[in-house]
Amino acid sequence: MRLLSLLLVLVVGCGVLTPAARADEKFTVRFVDLAGHDGIKLGANVVTPTSPGPHPLIVLPGSWGGGNTQNLLWSTELAKRGMIAVNYATRGAGDSGGTVDFAGPDDVRDVRSVINWALANTDADPARIGLAGISYAGPIMLNAAAADPRIKAVVMTSGLVDIEEMLIRQETRYGLLALGFRVTAAITARTAPDFNTMLDDFFANRNMDELRAWARERSPVTRLDALNRNGTAVYMAHAWNDSVARNGQIMRFYDRLTGPKRLELYPGDHVSPELTGVLTLPNEAFDTLYRWLEVHVAGVRNPADVATPIRLRPRTPDRSGPLETYRSTAEFEAPATRYGLGAPGTALAPGETSAWQSSITADSTTSDAGITMGTSTLEALTGRPPTVWLPGVDRRRALLWQSAPLARATKLRGTVDLHLTVVPNDAVGTVFGYLYAVDGAGTGELINHASFTWTGATPGRARTIDVRFDPMAFDVPAGRRLALVVDAKDLMYLDENTTGETLRFTGPASLDLPSRN
């Protein structure tokens, strides 16, 4: 991010001929030091149209560990559209002072301070204020909009709305993500004691009630009532396989918004769908972002231009699938067909199955979720999902079911639910599920994955567990097989199993698949 920020300064400051910095563009850029709500320095820059004001004001908090130039290049596009853009590095990052607050109350008050400064020192219109940002800026902006009714709109790409769920998914700790925060914070940020304590407790699996409370305090999902009272217009763009904030939390948040709202979903991982837009290259998500601000902040565009509530691009083999639009998440969700899971190794097929027993050893297999912000980013670039060769998955460590070749192409649309019965050895334990589309050579493309940790179980007593996958839009070509793998270890997560222990499962079990042909 720091290298990208330096390149952006050179591009804008030196007048390199790019789509956002032509010789005839009419805007100015100046760098300033602002004061946070408690007086700490916030490194910032202001991009101002040279046309007469007053102008709409867009405030852009920086992303995780980024400086005030992180959003500078595409801020010039806002200025070209007649909006003042104020970029600033959040506290604890870049050339700003203080320590990281991780979307806490200090970050929220800083947004208000930046707005107040802009109203006092530019020709910004106090009746036309919006926020825009990427990733870590998301919860800061939404929390600020909930606290400040002057903010008319928020546009957020790859954002977070539920920090508790980001860290702990279906009771499974997301270890690789937390490690990423720890490593990148050591390089690009200055952390506060509460953040360091939170990470220590997370890895030690202690004081989890306090950790959850820390996360909930910073989660926009706890401020939905205030956002709805304020009528904030919210646009969110997200990746199907976002490995930082899974798309399920974004879709549930979208459902509960009552003001103007729009959701767009694209193939890829965290930040990858909007990356070309950050560089002011053609980008579908950024096209909507600009229009949303023009409608809901500037008031210079017809609301019909952004009237479609949900727009998505499904994951297809050749990346040529058309954009799909829906009026609601309920309309997006396809009817589910129940596939019975007989004894592992038997066919995955619609219908019910009888009882069976099987066991696996808790150890790594070749089936896994990949690397945070790595594996699925390649899909955004190449169109090829993560793959595994199914014959190479160790059957001693995994349960596997596979369907017959599909007679016709199938559109998977919605939420997959996996129902298993486990006979636990301990009160706690973890399972992972992976759904694949498999070609004739046995290579499976990862459609989706999920983790689940049970708690409070009685050892030796069978217990039904319901594993919910995040929503998906994946097109499976005719002739491919569907395959399900269940195992007990994944390097992306911190599981509750002892390596080498035996996990026992029994039937009946089933998989609910939402699809359209």
| Residues contacting residue 456 through CB under 8 Å, at least 6 positions apart | 427, 428
339 plus 295 within the same structural domain = no
Say yes or no to pLDDT of 436 above 70.
Answer: yes
pLDDT tens per residue, range 202-222:
999 999 999 999 999 999 999
Identify whether 326 is part of a domain.
Answer: no
Whether the CB-CB separation of 315 and 473 falls below 8 Å is answered with: yes
Question: End of a domain among 260, 281, 313?
Answer: 313
Q: 256 and 308 share a domain?
A: yes
Across the chain, mean pLDDT equals 92
- The Cα 263–Cα 312 span in angstroms is 8
- Residue 471, domain extent: 333-516
Nearest to 232 by CA among 288, 274, 292: 292
Is the link from the previous residue into 317 a cis peptide, with omega within 30 of 0?
no
Q: Is residue 8 part of a domain?
A: yes
Query: In this structure, are 265 and 365 located in the same domain?
Result: no
495: tokens are: 């599981």
Has residue 152 got a pLDDT over 80? yes
Q: How far is CA 204 from CA 183, 323, 384, 430, 494, in A?
A: 17, 44, 36, 17, 10
Q: Examine the domain organization and report whether 373 and 245 are in the same domain.
A: no
Number of independent structural domains in the chain: 2
Is 351 inside a domain boundary?
yes
Residue 482 lies in a domain: yes
- Contact assessment for residue 473 and residue 413, using Cβ atoms and an 8 Å cutoff: yes
pLDDT per position as a tens digit, 329-360: 999 999 999 999 999 999 999 988 878 999 99
**Mean pLDDT within 386-401:** 95
Distance CA 502, CA 162 (A): 34
Q: Is residue 293 part of a domain?
A: yes
- In terms of domains, do 398 and 355 share one? yes
Residues 214 and 305 in one domain: yes
Residues 297-331: pLDDT tens digits? 999 888 888 889 999 999 987 666 789 999 999 99
Residues 194-224 as b or e (16 or more Cβ within 10 Å = b): ebeebbeebeeeeeeeebeebbeebbbbbbb
Is pTM beyond 0.85? Reply is: yes
CATH of residue 510: 2.60.120.260
380 and 253 share a domain? no
For residue 41, is pLDDT > 90?
yes
Residue 119 in domain: yes
Tokens of 236: 């969110």
d(Cα 237, Cα 232) in Å, to the nearest integer?
16
- Residues with Cβ < 8 Å from 225, sequence gap 6 or more? none
Residues 416 and 282 in one domain: no
Asked if residue 126 has a cis previous peptide bond (ω within 30° of 0), the answer is: no
Same domain, 466 and 356: yes
CATH number of the domain residue 221 falls in? 3.40.50.1820
Report if residue 320 sits inside a domain. no
* Residue 189 shares a structural domain with residue 96: yes
CB distance 161 to 143 below 8 Å: no
Q: Is residue 327 part of a domain?
A: no
The two counts, helices (H) then strands (E), for the chain are 14, 25
User: Which has the closest alpha carbon to 479: 236, 314, 317?
Assistant: 317
DSSP character at residue 295: I
In a shared domain, residues 373 and 290: no
